Structure 1
């Protein structure tokens, strides 16, 4: 029987408490260090994912801009091409740039030539390219412009238009453009930021979902997108990559907390965000805590056995003398 009035037992208990206290302190320190390290690496992974998606966004957007600019250069050098030559150029750029359709509207008569070999004009189809929003916006800006996303009247897809004016001797002669399906963009670019616990999306400054893997969410708002927009309005530094603390929290429509990191896109109207469920962070930290507790318990048990054995062995002569 374990007797507390026995000297060896008393020393064992004292040593056990001291060892347990030391191990608890050491494991608490290790836990918080491991917690910080785990959170840091998860944050870095999320930030890197957001960075990769943003870079892919830039590459895609720049490729579309370059394709439209190449048509503008061709028309500038050949202001009066024949219809077949024009159709061939438009189709080549459409195919190379991944557009749904490319087109050119002429300033002198308002006619529109499309890559699908359709011609529209005020006389034949009562269509005047000069009255279209993409034409007027590019003409007024006097540079390449990108429209806000809109639903196509032809197939109801979410579309964005690139348009660039063409000048000859400082005189506007045409505006070239191309339509691009944003669902294709979402599949090709946002998939980079997709995993079992996180995804990426592009939002405007008011919380409208511009690009999303789920096309039904595009051009809509939800609690999460609104909360993201509000957080950035309150603290614009959250989309400043030069700042260290750019992670923030926002609740989704189910009331679950999401960990967010965002950055400005090539288009100043939009931001790209990487979104991860907070449980990814808490589960990782809880796993570290569980491991630390198990290690501490095992260490205390082993230390208790060793201390008990050592004390009993070394105090045996005293027990003999006492007897």
Structure 2
């Protein structure tokens, strides 16, 4: 009986050691696989984010290029008001802008691609978009805002028109970003993933839930 009891004890201990080893191996395999899956998901979403960022960068670069070309076109026709309006109308149609407009430095006159109702004392030189463009050598981009006329999300681009370092005026445009928003929100990641866009200060510009639009992202 003692011999049998000893054999039983040895077998029992060996079984425990084997079971423990098996648990360790299974646990190591599980956690190792979990890390691999997590790393794969993280890499996938990083790729998604890079794709969206590159798309937006490309879109912005194209609009900035168009504004630089517009400024040069305006400069070539700065002394001919009728030709200026025709050129702005053409630029607006080609670029799908809501409005192209020009503030003239010499007399404060305001010209636009389509007739616009403004107060009699309106002076574009006092407007933030005009002053910001004059202070910059580059195209400036405003914060997104809601267009009062149709409720659409709009951003404005503006560029100072200069000749020999002297400011002749500022050309600007209003652009509805609804098509950009749709393009971004149509990208579905996984089963429930989605993209939302903020500016540098954390203001939400694009989000599938409209209640968050133009609200501060508290996580930033």
TM over 0.5: yes
Equivalences for 1:1-323 in 2 at 5 Å? 16-83=15-82, 85-116=83-114, 118=115, 125-192=120-187, 194-221=189-216, 225-226=217-218, 228-229=219-220
For the residue of structure 2 that corresponds to 1:160, the secondary structure is strand
Q: SS where residue 71 of structure 1 aligns?
A: helix
Mark the CA change 1:217 to 1:92 in structure 2 (over 3 Å): closer, same or farther.
farther
- Write the distance in 2 (CA, Å) between the matches of 1:162 and 1:198: 31
Q: Deviations over 1:143-167 (max 9, x none)?
A: 3211122222322333211000001
Aligned residues: 217
Determine the C-alpha separation between the residues in 2 that align with 1:66 and 1:94: 14
Task: Rate the CA distance shift 1:23–1:186 in 2: closer, same or farther, 3 A.
Answer: same
- Seen in structure 2, the aligned counterparts of structure 1 residues 156 and 55 have a Cα distance that, compared at 3 Å, is same
Match of 1:282 in 2: none
In structure 1, distance between residues paired with 2:17 and 2:73: 84
Q: Counterpart of 1:50 in 2: which secondary structure?
A: helix
* Structure 1 residue 180: Cα displacement: 1.7
- Structure whose alpha-carbon radius of gyration is higher: 1
Q: In structure 2, the residue corresponding to 1:198 is in which secondary structure?
A: coil
Unaligned runs of 5+ in 1: 230-323
- Mapped partners of 2:112, 2:189: distance in 1: 36
Distance in 1 of aligned mates of 2:95 and 2:8: 82
Write the deviation string for residues 191-214 of structure 1: whole angstroms up to 9, x where unpaired.
436553222222245543233233
Q: CA deviation at 1:176?
A: 0.7
**SS of the counterpart of 1:199?**
coil
CA distance in 2, matches of 1:211, 1:193: 14
Q: How far apart are residue 63 of structure 1 and its match? A: 1.3
Unaligned segments of structure 2, at least 5 residues: none
Spell out, residue by residue over 1:257-297, the C-alpha distance to the aligned partner (whole angstroms, 9 max, x if none).
Answer: xxxxxxxxxxxxxxxxxxxxxxxxxxxxxxxxxxxxxxxxx
- 2-structure distance, mates of 1:75, 1:131: 20
The secondary structure found in structure 2 opposite 1:87 is helix
The answer (yes or no) to whether the contact 1:159–1:179 under 8 Å persists in 2 is yes
**CA spacing shift, 1:215–1:111, aligned 2, 3 Å:** farther
Post-superposition Cα deviations, 1:43-82, rounded to whole Å, max 9, x if no partner, equal: 1011111111111111111111111111101122232235
RMSD: 2.9
Asked if the contact 1:120–1:127 (Cα under 8 Å) also holds between the matched residues in 2, the reply is: no
TM-score where L is the length of structure 1: 0.58
Q: Deviations over 1:233-262 (max 9, x none)?
A: xxxxxxxxxxxxxxxxxxxxxxxxxxxxxx
